[in-house]
Amino acid sequence: DGGITQSPKYLFRKEGQNVTLSCEQNLNHDAMYWYRQDPGQGLRLIYYSQIVNDFQKGDIAEGYSVSREKKESFPLTVTSAQKNPTAFYLCASRDRQETQYFGPGTRLLVL
């Protein structure tokens, strides 16, 4: 079954801690994305990558970091510099017909 997986479903962060959210896809898509969703705010782009070993900042990259060492994987690290990390995080990938497909999401909560 082809698709996008995100883990964990729920993640708890303590103050001062870095946490990493996993995103894996087996759709053979080149481009991958990370979005943050807050109630009533829609989706905001954090980082995106159009090819392995390359990525660009989105609209709200401060306090986040990414890597793209493999085509299938695009992990997001929420650093301690992100002062308001509580949100629903969505990963997506884009096909050659310009359509983005989304994973099931990770909800990050602060202890």
Please give the residue ranges that form the binding site for another protein (CB under 8 A). 4, 6, 31, 40-45, 48, 50, 58, 88, 90, 92, 94, 97-105, 107
H helices of the chain, in order, are none
Between 43 and 80, name the residue whose CB sits nearer to another protein.
Answer: 43
Q: How many other CB atoms are there within 10 angstroms of residue 52's CB atom?
A: 15
Classify burial at 76, counting beta carbons within 10 Å of its beta carbon; exposed 0-12, middle 13-18, buried 19 or more.
Answer: buried
| Closest distance to another protein from the beta carbon of 80 (Å) | 26
Between 72 and 102, name the residue whose CB sits nearer to another protein.
Answer: 102
Between 13 and 44, name the residue whose CB sits nearer to another protein.
Answer: 44
| Closest distance to another protein from the beta carbon of 104 (Å) | 5
**Are 56 and 40 contacting, i.e. CB atoms less than 8 angstroms apart?**
no
